[in-house]
Structure formats: C-alpha cells, structure tokens
C-alpha cells in the first residue's frame, strides 16, 4: 500500500518547485468539474506565485457545467444568482511537472472555498470530504484504489463517422484482437503505456499495472491502494488526464466513454476499499473468503444505496448502455467472493487483504462523487448493521433487477429523493447535480437522430 502524499504549505511547495524546475514557463491550475472534466487556467511562471499565496478567483458555477461545457443555470446557479466567484486554493502535494508538455510546465490541483473561507459545497472534492469525516468519528480509515478501463481509438473516424480501433505501432494493422490479458496487445502500445507510467511517476500518481481488456484497443490501468481516500480520488481524476494527454502525443485518442461500441465490452471504474482501525488493522479481515461481519454490513449498506446512487455511477445516456445481462457488469444487488459477476466482489487473497471491489461505476463518472456515494453506503451499512443476505455463487449477472433505475430521468429522480445519500452528500448538492444532469439530458434529447428519420419520416 502506498502512503498518502505528504502535507506541506502551498507557498513552501511553490518555492521548492521553482528551485527544482527552474526552466518551468507555465503552471496549470486545474480542477475536476461535476462531469469529471479537467478545467482551469494557465499562469505564466512570473504570475504563478499568487496562486499559492492568495488563490484564484473563479465562478462557482464552473463545477456545474454540463458535459459540453455549457452553463445551464441549474437550480438558479449561473445566471440567476449573478454567477458569483469562489476562491480556488491549491491542494498541498499536487504541484508537479507536466511531462507531455511541449514547453516546461507545472500543474497543480485546486479546490474551492466560499468567500467566507469555508469549503464550497458544490466542489465534488468537498462533497467527498464531508462523507470521509464520518469515518473519523468511527475511528476508521478507508484504504482505496481505483481501476480505470479505457479505449485507444484512431483519431480518424470510419466512413460512417464512427470511432474505430487504432492502428498498432507494432504491426501496422488496425487492432482487432479480443485477447484479454494478451501480452502482444500490450506490446503494440508499449511506448504509450510506458509514457503513462512515467507521467504518473512524475505527477505522483501511482499507476503502473496495465492489462489488455476484452476488446480491440481496450486497456485497464490500476492505481495503488492508499490510506488517504481523497488522494485516491485525486489519483483517478489525474490519471484520466494523463492518459488522454499522453495518447494525443502518441497520435491516438483515449476515451473513457462507458460504451463506445455496442458489440464490445464497456469501460468501468472499479473501486477497491478496505477499512483500517486506529491500530492499523483491517476490520474487513477474516479467515472466511466472505470477510468479517463489518465487511458484510458494509456490503449491506452498498446494496441499500445502490439504486439511489445510479445517477452518479452512470451519469449520462451512454453510461446506461453498459448494463445488460452476462456482460460482467452488475445488474442487481449481488455480492460474493472471487466472483466477477456480482456488484460487490470480495477478491481472493490472504485474510489481511480482505476488501470490497465496487464494480458498478462507468469509467467517465466523477471519481470524487463515486467515492462519496460508495463511502456513504459503507458507513450506512456499518452503523446500521445491515445484513446483505446470502452471497451469490455462479453467474449473478443474468437477471436484471427491475428496481434499478436504468435511464437518466428515473435515476435522477431516485437520487434527488434519496434520504440516505442526501444525509451524506447533502440534499443541496443532490439537487444541483440532478438539475445539471436534467438540463444536459434535455439538450441531448433536443435533436432528431438519424434513426428517427429512418423509422418515423
């Protein structure tokens, strides 16, 4: 397990960075918005010190933009309220070089405070912090690691304008293999994967295990377990930024779209979680492959909140295309040991490594909100001692649970009405999240598709 990043002051960190990287010309001040998209401002180095002493004034509504970058005035935030500023301040330990940049450049992750100096309630990072604070009262520390699946795509679309797998640098032919865990498939893009690993090392993002997945051009990169859950969510957000940026330098496009090809497997975001007590012992540890009573209560809570959190785990129309029978994607409330067909898997291994693998979210979901929803479910289950029922054996992803809201409108209604998730993430935040995504869905549906002309003209 990797230790969390060291704590330091922003001003001291900036001075140390200047000394270590004297040729740096710019610093990117970045944040992750509601849709998981990286946004921010680029500062010349001569102006960058002010970021680390006074922060950056920026409109709060930057955290409520839809996936196209539009401000849709969700819940009256944006135009109605005059679009007020908050203050973005650096996250200690996140000022790093940008290895893929054409000119020497730095990058720092920012988080927002209100004009009064309190954490902004609409910054997804702060939403996760509010949930994490509940575990401190229990004397428990979550240990978390994310796994991200993605496709490499040719920058050129096919004759119909659709995405297509990339051309392998090794063979000169378009990728077509379905060889999951294939080493030759990894070799084809070894230079890209090597540069992702190097960029992760330079940016303190501990990612270095890659596998070829179930479709041509599909890969998974794993992050290390860390005893700072917030840092784990930072790592996931930054890893997506790294992968997309490095892919561009290699002449391909990286996509975390949950289901870019209907006939191929989708892209998931799997989250591994265990809990340490004050003595550093894993409270999920047990000789049984099904883990301890605490682990099972945690799964009970995840089951109880699974449908309520669907709009966070599947944040757009395409995300719901991932879900279907026999796709190794959860479609019901199921759990079990060493079984990839369940929603909440307990991986095999020694007793002290017992953990939950949450397999529900799509790869493009906001990592902070996914973390917040998962931890809310775990805390709810442990404090209320919720029984998950019997573990599943064999194929658990054959029957779709009719209670799951498997479309955008019903999932947003379910989220906004959730008393449990509202008590953890905040009813105000659920309201603005739902409003943003409803507006996005409205605009998505406000266009006539080619199929409509083919069927109904």
Residue 435 has pLDDT above 70, yes or no: yes
Residue partners of 300: CB distance under 8 A and separation at least 6: 381, 385, 386, 387, 388, 389
The answer to whether 406 touches 320, Cβ cutoff 8 Å, is yes
CA distance 444 to 416: 20
CA distance 455 to 442: 22
Confidence of residue 365 (pLDDT cuts 50, 70, 90): very high
Instruction: Taking the CA atoms of 72, 76, 82 and 86 in sequence, report the sign of the dihedral they define.
Output: negative
Residue 255: closest CA among 108, 109, 125, 362: 362
> Could you tell me if residue 153 is inside a domain?
yes
CA distance 50 to 97: 18
> Could you tell me if residue 125 is inside a domain?
no
Strand partners, 167: 174
Last residue of a domain, one of 95, 119, 143: 119
Interhelix angle 229-249/124-138, nearest 10 degrees: 150
Give the pLDDT mean for 249-270: 94
Last residue of a domain, one of 119, 144, 173: 119
- Give the total number of structural domains in the chain: 2
Q: Buried (b) or exposed (e) across 383-422, using 16+ Cβ within 10 A?
A: eeebebeebbeeebbeeeeeebbbebeebbebbbebebbb
Residue 436: closest CA among 122, 129, 111, 125: 122
Identify the top-confidence range among 67-71, 216-220, 321-325: 67-71
255 lies in the same domain as 392: yes
Which secondary-structure segment (H or E) carries 30? strand 26-32
H-assigned helices in 155-284? 183-188, 190-202, 229-249
> Cα–chain-centroid distance for residue 200?
16
> Could you tell me if residue 222 is inside a domain?
yes
The mean pLDDT of the chain is: 93
Q: CATH no. for residue 68? A: 3.10.20.70
pLDDT tens by residue, 167-205: 888 788 887 766 555 566 667 788 899 999 999 999 999
112 lies in the same domain as 155: no
> Could you tell me if residue 107 is inside a domain?
yes
pLDDT tens by residue, 130-166: 999 999 999 999 999 999 999 999 999 998 888 898 8
> Could you tell me if residue 419 is inside a domain?
yes
The answer to whether 271 touches 233, Cβ cutoff 8 Å, is no
Confidence of residue 3 (pLDDT cuts 50, 70, 90): low
The answer to whether 221 touches 209, Cβ cutoff 8 Å, is yes
Last residue of a domain, one of 62, 89, 119: 119
314 lies in the same domain as 348: yes
Q: Domain span at residue 184?
A: 131-456
Instruction: Taking the CA atoms of 385, 141, 374 and 270 in sequence, report the sign of the dihedral they define.
Output: negative
> Could you tell me if residue 231 is inside a domain?
yes
220 lies in the same domain as 346: yes
pLDDT for the residue numbered 128: 98
Biggest alpha carbon–alpha carbon distance for the chain: 68
Q: CATH no. for residue 254? A: 3.30.590.10
pLDDT tens by residue, 65-117: 999 999 999 999 999 999 999 999 999 999 999 999 999 999 999 999 998 88
> Could you tell me if residue 3 is inside a domain?
no
171 lies in the same domain as 207: yes
114 lies in the same domain as 137: no
Count CB atoms within 10 A of the CB of residue 240.
24
> Could you tell me if residue 273 is inside a domain?
yes
238 lies in the same domain as 375: yes
CA distance 239 to 219: 13
157 lies in the same domain as 77: no
Residue partners of 81: CB distance under 8 A and separation at least 6: none
373 lies in the same domain as 284: yes
pLDDT for the residue numbered 117: 87
In this prediction, what percent of the chain has a pLDDT beyond 70?
A: 96
Confidence of residue 210 (pLDDT cuts 50, 70, 90): confident
276 lies in the same domain as 382: yes
57 lies in the same domain as 141: no
Residue partners of 402: CB distance under 8 A and separation at least 6: none
pLDDT for the residue numbered 398: 86
277 lies in the same domain as 136: yes
């Amino acid at each position: 397990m990797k230790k969390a990043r060291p704590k330091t002051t922003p001003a001291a960190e900036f001075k140390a960075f200047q000394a270590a990287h004297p040729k740096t010309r710019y610093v990117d001040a970045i944040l992750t918005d509601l849709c998981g998209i990286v946004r921010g401002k680029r500062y010349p180095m001569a102006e960058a010190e002010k970021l680390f002493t006074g922060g950056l004034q920026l409109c709060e509504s930057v955290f409520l933009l839809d996936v196209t970058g539009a401000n849709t005035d969700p819940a009256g935030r944006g135009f109605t309220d005059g679009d007020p500023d908050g203050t973005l301040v650096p996250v200690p330990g996140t000022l790093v070089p940008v290895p893929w940049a054409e000119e020497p450049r730095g990058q720092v992750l920012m988080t927002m405070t209100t004009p009064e100096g309190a954490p902004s309630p609409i910054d997804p990072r702060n939403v996760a912090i509010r949930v994490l604070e509940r575990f401190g009262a229990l004397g428990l520390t979550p240990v978390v690691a994310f796994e991200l699946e993605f496709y490499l795509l040719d920058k050129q679309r096919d004759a119909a304008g659709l995405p297509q797998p990339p051309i392998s640098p090794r063979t000169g032919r378009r990728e077509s293999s379905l060889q999951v865990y294939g080493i030759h498939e990894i070799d084809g893009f070894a230079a890209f994967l090597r540069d992702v690993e190097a960029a992760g090392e330079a940016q303190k993002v501990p990612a270095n295990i890659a596998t070829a997945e179930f479709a041509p051009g599909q890969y998974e990169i794993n992050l290390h377990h860390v005893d700072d859950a917030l840092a784990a969510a930072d790592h996931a957000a930054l890893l997506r930024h790294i992968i997309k940026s490095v892919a561009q330098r290699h002449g391909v496009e990286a996509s975390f779209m949950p289901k870019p090809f209907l006939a191929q497997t989708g892209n998931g975001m799997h989250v591994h979680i265990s809990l340490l007590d004050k003595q550093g012992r894993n409270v999920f540890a047990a000789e049984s492959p099904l883990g301890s009573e605490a682990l099972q209560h945690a799964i009970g809570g995840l089951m109880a909140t699974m449908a309520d959190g669907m709009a966070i785990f599947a944040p757009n129309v395409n995300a719901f295309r991932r879900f279907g029978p026999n796709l190794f994607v959860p479609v019901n409330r199921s759990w079990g040991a060493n079984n990839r067909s369940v929603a909440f898997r307990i991986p095999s291994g020694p007793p002290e490594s017992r953990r939950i693998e949450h397999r529900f979210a799509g790869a493009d979901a906001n990592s902070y909100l996914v973390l917040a929803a998962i931890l809310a479910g775990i805390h709810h289950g442990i404090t209320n001692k919720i029984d998950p029922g019997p573990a599943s054996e064999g194929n658990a992803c054959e029957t779709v649970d009719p209670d799951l809201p498997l479309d955008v409108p019903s999932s947003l209604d379910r989220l906004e009405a959730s008393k449990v998730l509202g008590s953890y993430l905040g009813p105000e935040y659920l309201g603005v999240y739902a409003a943003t995504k409803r507006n996005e869905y409205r605009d998505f549906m406000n266009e006539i598709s080619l199929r409509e002309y083919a069927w109904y003209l």
